[in-house]
Structure 1
Amino acid sequence: MGDKANAHPGAAGRAATADHPSSVRNVVLVGHSGSGKTTLVEALALTAGAVNRAGRVEDGGTVSDYDEIEHRQQRSVQLSLVPVEWDGYKINILDTPGYADFVGELRAGLRAADAALFVVSAADGVDGSTRMVWEECAAVGMPRAIVITHLEAARADFEEMTRICAETFGGDDPDAVLPLYLPLRGEPGPDGHAPVTGLIGLLTQRLFDYASGERKESEPVPDQLPLIEEARNRLIEGIIAESEDETLMDRYLGGEEIDVKTLIEDLERAVARGSFHPVLAAAPAAGGARQGLGTVELLDLITRGFPTPLEHECPTVTTPEGKPGPQVTCDPEGPLVAEVVKTASDPYVGRVSLVRVFSGTLRPDETVHVSGHGLADRGHEDHDVDERVGALSAPFGKQQRTLSQAIAGDLACVAKLSRAETGDTLSAKDKPLLMEPWDMPDPLLPVAIQAHSKADEDKLSQGLARLVAEDPTLRLEQNQDTHQVVLWCLGEAHADVVLERLRGRYGVQVDVVPHKVSLRETFAGKSAGRGRHVKQSGGHGQYAICEIEVEPLPGGSGIEFVDKVVGGAVPRQFIPSVEKGVRAQAAKGVAAGYPLIDVRVTLLDGKAHSVDSSDAAFQTAGALALREAASDVRIHLLEPVAEVQVLVGDDYVGPVMSDLSGRRGRVVGTEQAPGGRTLVRAEVPEIEIDRYAVDLRSISHGTARFSRRYARHEPMPPGIADKVREQAREAA
């Protein structure tokens, strides 16, 4: 695999096309920020002939053209597609952000791909988030390979990093993670560091020299062969262990020399099944060279070892009403089923949707049905509409190259789908279908915003609607209790990008304001109040008197109103008026301006006037009575408490539990989870976990996840409650 003397690149300036799913490979690059994914994409595109020696596409721009936000952030913040041709195959390379805040873009890339290439820096190693993504891929059987970058670093050690990858990714079978090549180093420089100049193929025992910038194949010198013998034998044993030929191991142990062609075929099958994970090395081309170290080997691995879309089981399909749909396969002649995996806005062509076609063939200018994705809780409305497809194109840098069609298994950009959002399904208008959605991370960092000016306020709702259409990991909340607009994000970097897009792309200036939680009030004990609303003027007067008793109820009881008036002291027609006034005052609060809950209000007595009493008068009297009752008893401020579950590595359980205790949290249980992790369950006041998404990442070095769910309201400690009341008085 990858041991060809002469490569067959594609052509620069020409859109990569596919005429059958077997000629398509969809691969997603995964790795932490700074691991070298985007640099590797550029190197692969250069080797494949998709860009010239300067790294630029023929008609302007570079393969890795960033948007303005990425230039300022100095990191990738969105999924990007780079299609190239290699040896007669179309390869759709999906480059994903490495920073944890943009895991939604990563999940979209995993959805659109059939295999994953994990990029690991020899200088930095494997981080916790990369391990977690590996486990996700393993759970669904996605084929994976590993490429080690940054071999030019002074402390880079390919053999040691390969051992770490085998321990980290191999689990119970480290022999399923083995190198296919060993790096060759040249003469040491003045600093004593010897650069990697070539590779030795362990199976073929051929040397591939990249020192000139063009890959040259030769026989290794005899002194080099003993250096690779141990690694070669281990690789052969690892391949044979995964072979479907049960006699192969016996023949090998019996001393038979297994044919290299047989080993390569078994290796390719094991990689495509996801049971063997080869390790390779790569480095970008130096100077004006065309081929970077290991890029030919990587492209050969992708085309020969990674599965075709035909081998990728399609997600479950139903009708938009939820009824069972047809069994969908990767057939260009089958029913149209495609999915929007990314939505972006282009200043010239408007909304552009990156689409993976799972079945059928998508053509420009045809009408398709758009089915919604079930994320209404995040501000994304469900869709069930017909739309006309605009032009189809293949992206390359900032260029869009026109496509005549996109067959099953391929990816393409679709223009002018004004209603479709990320996660939506495209299908035939006369046979609408809906694909099972992929898992999206729950945004847990709240960012409260308000329009900077009246002009911004007029544009805010439209700008927010466009934002959530592009980003399914963003949740928009219009909080009815606090009257705040809240953007729930995955982290601080995600929030920065969202606000920058709102300002730069949609021209809406917003101010970030302190996030408020939904506090409540309740009575600490029993109390009584008298409401007297008597006004006599020259005309029609107002007369209403009522006497009430208020007592606390258990949590979750709400407001209970009881009528115990006897003798008609309050006429029957005005009793609902008293209740209405009490409930209206309860909604406004009686101490710090937060809604009153969990009390029983009993109407005991009152007085009325035959002429001057009215519905409005008794509503006012009811409100006055409740306020008087509140003035004679302590009012508890109630804060929302969340049930929090933290999945964390065993090494960080202690710091996590200590941190939760410092947030006034109560740990209610722990239990062991697979993979050397522990699930910590706790109850924590919501006011204490506003920034927990950021803080937990710091505590656990990015290896922990948490979820939160509202549990109940309970009394706030007196000292904190007094501060809240003081702030409420100052605000008033």
Structure 2
Amino acid sequence: MGEKTRTHPGAAGRATSAGRPTSLRNVVLVGHSGAGKTTLVEALALATGAVNRAGRVEDGSCLSDYDEIEHRQQRSVQLSLVPVDYGGIKINVLDTPGYADFVGELRAGLRAADAALFVVSAADGVDGATRMVWDECAAVGMPRALVITHLEAARADFDQMTRLCGATLGGDDPDAVLPLYLPLYGTAGADGHAPVHGLIGLLTQRVFDYSSGERVERAPEADELPLIEEARNRLIEGIIAESEDESLMDRYLAGEDIDVKTLIGDLETAVARGTFHPVLAAAPAAEGARQGLGTIELLDLIARGFPTPAEREAPAVTTPDGKPRPALTCDPAGPLVAEVVKTSSDPYVGRLSLVRVFSGTLRPDETVHVSGHGLEDRGHEDHDVDERIGALSAPFGKTQRSLSHAIAGDLACVAKLTRAETGDTLSDKDAPLLMEPWTMPDPLLPVAIQAHSKADEDKLSQGLSRLVAEDPTMRLEHNQGTHQVVLWCLGEAHVDVALERLRSRYGVQVDTVPYKVSLRETFGGKAAGRGRHVKQSGGHGQYAICEIEVEPLPGGSGIEFVDKVVGGAVPRQFIPSVEKGVRAQAARGVAAGYPLVDVRVTLLDGKAHSVDSSDAAFQTAGSLALREAAADARIHLLEPVAEVTVLVPDDFVGAVMSDLSGRRGRVVGTDQAGHGRTLVRAEVPEIEISRYAVDLRSLSHGTGRFHRSYTRHEPMPPQLASKLREQEENGS
């Protein structure tokens, strides 16, 4: 492990720009909604003196969840950065939303951090979504630790919860997830629940008593040592198993008393390497207290056990045109490479970009190159422009603390980057680079919107472009088939926040309307039609007659036009006019107003007038002929069918397959995906899965994921087609 600056318990100070990467720690808090992440962030800020006992920063605002929408919804909906100083170590704490709809914010936090702190409620346990994120972190070797909260809850059991964490998160090695401290309980109250007022250090065998409101260290009493013997032995064995000193286990089994300093050093190495995951306990400070239970122990772990940015491998980089470049090193003197991990709008400052600097040093007022992968399918364009950096700052509540620079490994907010969006790379304008993108979840819940008024309509386009620039998990679609403006989101809460931001930030009020899928029409059999457009009411008249035959073609054939006119019945110059009229009518539809596809239209005969025939007259005749043919034919309504792949734990496979069948889906196969998960493949009409993002989450308890892609159009069952036509005729 690289050089680290050791900390001293109780050291506190103001968050500042760090002097070197070894004095930086970037940690992201992960956990389900309500686990206590935001409360823990506030407790850490209080313990370091960053906020007062009322949880307020200098301007009197709340430290986190200060956003108006978060206040209204009573939950975190965005990634927030809280930098604190602990004994000369700058700790960038990234608080993420726990609700599944805002997983994009979580992934941005994982990208910006070097270690993850999983917050688990003793009252609720480890949910499926948390296990999935744990597995993702394990796949990339990200160091992880756990904090058990809500120990004050009825029936909360720290020992039972740590065993559960070991069993569910430890995988094949549950001894890689073990507690460093055990809670010290007081006298049980009338409800039979004993409050936690201290912690017993398993390695040091010291007691840290918080009952007075301050952290007091003392020697254990005689009746307290037996409580920790079994847990201490298991912890020591777990640490030694991860030690690089292979002789340590033999010495321990031979009865040698291993030095505590050696054990702590090996523990810190294993944590930073991502092979051992300590469990701690935490509780908010009591009224009037400066330190919450476990906060100093947690700060010690972050500062001493979590890796510095220099110890983590940076994402791969290429030139903007895709040529590979050497791996980055976390060197403040190296080439500048930073990444926008979050974009937001401040009503006073304007657009703010939260960036992680991976190499070099970022300074205000310098010109950088902005390179972006672009997500055209989500309304994001490629970027390849130069921009001038605005002011640098560190966010703290609603305030922005000015920074003179941001070195490699640090995070900072950049003002007034008008072109850069989330995921874009900032680099030297003379040697631009592009970072490998991180995986973003696909938005799979559509919501169709329209402007509430004419004034809103004028502002809608700009408001939507700003909205999707902030959130790469959102996709904007202007559906040409249904003529709807559609926002694709991750869930209902995501929709609510998006529409509220449109209203409150950009002054655009919108209404939601029923989402439509792109239906089409086709002929069910051969049919003939005659188009007659004759008008002679004085002056120059109009004269065109054409006869056509229509027959169905295989799916995906489109419209095929064939000329079989003989003897010049329709002059050659007007045959393209007939085709133009036929295609125009096909685009408008012939029965229910949906585009006509997969037919061959054959022009057989017609009549013309030497004076009154014209291009416009034969276009009209072609259109009338197609409509007459449709009037005497069976018209099938075609619906889009999607190929759907659903990844779920094995326990939910049966329920998922049954649900897909109930949606008129055809299950075409299943594959084992490892770790007790199965991939279910099916073909399902798109009209049946417009809300599948919400329904699957409920069906699989938040553990299921799915992907959809258009495959073809096929006939809709007649009874459903009739019902749909009736609904449209009634305007419902």
Q: Shorter-chain TM-score: what band?
A: over 0.9
- How do 1:125-524 residues align onto structure 2 when only pairs under 5 Å count? 125-524=125-524
C-alpha contact 2:65 2:75 (8 A) present in aligned 1:
no
SS at match of 2:486: strand
TM-score by length of 2: 0.98
SS at match of 2:506: coil
- Aligned residue type for 2:130: T
What is the alpha-carbon distance in structure 2 between the residues aligned to residue 93 and residue 209 of structure 1?
25
SS at match of 1:271: helix
What is the alpha-carbon distance in structure 1 between the residues aligned to residue 69 and residue 8 of structure 2?
40
How far apart are 1:190 and its partner, in Å? Answer: 2.2
* Structure 1 residue aligned with 2:595: 595
- Aligned residue type for 1:653: V
C-alpha contact 1:5 1:216 (8 A) present in aligned 2:
no
Range with greater deviation from structure 2 (124-133 or 537-546): 537-546
The CA deviation string for residues 473-518 of structure 1, in whole angstroms up to 9 with x for no partner, is 1100011111100000000000000000001111111100000110
What is the alpha-carbon distance in structure 2 between the residues aligned to residue 445 and residue 261 of structure 1?
53
What is the alpha-carbon distance in structure 1 between the residues aligned to residue 586 and residue 64 of structure 2?
58
The CA deviation string for residues 428-453 of structure 1, in whole angstroms up to 9 with x for no partner, is 11111111111100000001000010
Range with greater deviation from structure 2 (17-26 or 62-71): 62-71
C-alpha contact 2:562 2:603 (8 A) present in aligned 1:
yes
C-alpha contact 1:390 1:417 (8 A) present in aligned 2:
yes
C-alpha contact 1:15 1:403 (8 A) present in aligned 2:
no
What is the alpha-carbon distance in structure 1 between the residues aligned to residue 56 and residue 170 of structure 2?
38
The CA deviation string for residues 190-240 of structure 1, in whole angstroms up to 9 with x for no partner, is 222111111111111111111111111111122222221111111111111
How far apart are 1:675 and its partner, in Å? Answer: 1.6
* Structure 1 residue aligned with 2:35: 35
- How do 1:667-678 residues align onto structure 2 when only pairs under 5 Å count? 667-678=667-678
* Structure 2 residue aligned with 1:21: 21
What is the alpha-carbon distance in structure 2 between the residues aligned to residue 100 and residue 601 of structure 1?
50
Q: Is 1:627 paired with 2:627?
A: yes
* Structure 1 residue aligned with 2:583: 583
C-alpha contact 1:593 1:728 (8 A) present in aligned 2:
no
- How do 1:71-150 residues align onto structure 2 when only pairs under 5 Å count? 71-150=71-150
SS at match of 1:63: coil
The answer for unaligned runs of 5 or more in structure 1 is none
What is the alpha-carbon distance in structure 2 between the residues aligned to residue 524 and residue 210 of structure 1?
79
SS at match of 1:473: coil
What is the alpha-carbon distance in structure 1 between the residues aligned to residue 31 and residue 373 of structure 2?
28
C-alpha contact 1:443 1:473 (8 A) present in aligned 2:
yes
- Aligned residue type for 1:184: L
- Aligned residue type for 1:163: R
* Structure 2 residue aligned with 1:719: 719
Are residues 452 and 650 of structure 1, via their aligned partners in 2, closer, same or farther at CA, if it must alter by over 3 Å?
same
Q: Is 1:10 paired with 2:12?
A: yes
- Aligned residue type for 1:238: G
The CA deviation string for residues 553-593 of structure 1, in whole angstroms up to 9 with x for no partner, is 11011111111111221111111111111111100000000
The alignment covers a number of residue pairs equal to 727
What is the alpha-carbon distance in structure 1 between the residues aligned to residue 684 and residue 34 of structure 2?
35
How far apart are 1:271 and its partner, in Å? Answer: 0.4
What is the alpha-carbon distance in structure 1 between the residues aligned to residue 533 and residue 618 of structure 2?
8
Are residues 713 and 417 of structure 1, via their aligned partners in 2, closer, same or farther at CA, if it must alter by over 3 Å?
same
SS at match of 1:41: helix
The CA deviation string for residues 249-304 of structure 1, in whole angstroms up to 9 with x for no partner, is 11111111111111111111100010000000000110110111110110000011
* Structure 1 residue aligned with 2:681: 681
* Structure 1 residue aligned with 2:659: 659
What is the alpha-carbon distance in structure 1 between the residues aligned to residue 121 and residue 627 of structure 2?
66
How far apart are 1:383 and its partner, in Å? Answer: 1.3
C-alpha contact 2:7 2:87 (8 A) present in aligned 1:
no
- How do 1:603-614 residues align onto structure 2 when only pairs under 5 Å count? 603-614=603-614
How far apart are 1:108 and its partner, in Å? Answer: 0.3
How far apart are 1:8 and its partner, in Å? Answer: 3.9
SS at match of 2:594: coil
Range with greater deviation from structure 2 (436-445 or 51-60): 51-60
What is the alpha-carbon distance in structure 2 between the residues aligned to residue 481 and residue 526 of structure 1?
26
How far apart are 1:5 and its partner, in Å? Answer: 11
SS at match of 1:223: coil
- How do 1:42-61 residues align onto structure 2 when only pairs under 5 Å count? 42-61=42-61
Q: Is 1:645 paired with 2:645?
A: yes
Root mean square deviation, CA, Å: 1.3
* Structure 2 residue aligned with 1:704: 704
C-alpha contact 2:121 2:150 (8 A) present in aligned 1:
yes
The CA deviation string for residues 329-369 of structure 1, in whole angstroms up to 9 with x for no partner, is 11101111001111111111101111100000000111111
Stretches (4+) displaced over 6 A: none
What is the alpha-carbon distance in structure 2 between the residues aligned to residue 659 and residue 589 of structure 1?
33
SS at match of 2:18: coil
TM-score by length of 1: 0.98
How far apart are 1:101 and its partner, in Å? Answer: 0.2
The CA deviation string for residues 162-186 of structure 1, in whole angstroms up to 9 with x for no partner, is 0000011000000100001111101
What is the alpha-carbon distance in structure 1 between the residues aligned to residue 58 and residue 209 of structure 2?
28
What is the alpha-carbon distance in structure 2 between the residues aligned to residue 8 and residue 87 of structure 1?
8
Range with greater deviation from structure 2 (322-331 or 119-128): 322-331
C-alpha contact 2:7 2:86 (8 A) present in aligned 1:
no
What is the alpha-carbon distance in structure 1 between the residues aligned to residue 544 and residue 325 of structure 2?
65
Range with greater deviation from structure 2 (531-540 or 270-279): 531-540
- Aligned residue type for 1:92: N
How far apart are 1:27 and its partner, in Å? Answer: 0.1
- Aligned residue type for 2:239: I
Range with greater deviation from structure 2 (365-374 or 286-295): 365-374
SS at match of 2:467: helix
C-alpha contact 2:638 2:715 (8 A) present in aligned 1:
yes
C-alpha contact 1:310 1:329 (8 A) present in aligned 2:
yes
Range with greater deviation from structure 2 (32-41 or 427-436): 427-436
What is the alpha-carbon distance in structure 2 between the residues aligned to residue 516 and residue 327 of structure 1?
47
The CA deviation string for residues 136-175 of structure 1, in whole angstroms up to 9 with x for no partner, is 1011110000000000112110000000000110000001
C-alpha contact 1:43 1:292 (8 A) present in aligned 2:
yes
* Structure 1 residue aligned with 2:530: 530
The CA deviation string for residues 346-398 of structure 1, in whole angstroms up to 9 with x for no partner, is 11110111110000000011111111232121001111111111111111111
SS at match of 2:228: helix
How far apart are 1:724 and its partner, in Å? Answer: 2.0
SS at match of 2:153: coil
- Aligned residue type for 1:10: A
What is the alpha-carbon distance in structure 2 between the residues aligned to residue 170 and residue 544 of structure 1?
79
Identity of aligned residues (%): 84
SS at match of 1:495: helix
C-alpha contact 2:7 2:300 (8 A) present in aligned 1:
no
SS at match of 1:380: coil
- Aligned residue type for 2:729: R
SS at match of 1:503: helix
* Structure 1 residue aligned with 2:545: 545
Range with greater deviation from structure 2 (518-527 or 425-434): 425-434
C-alpha contact 1:18 1:410 (8 A) present in aligned 2:
yes
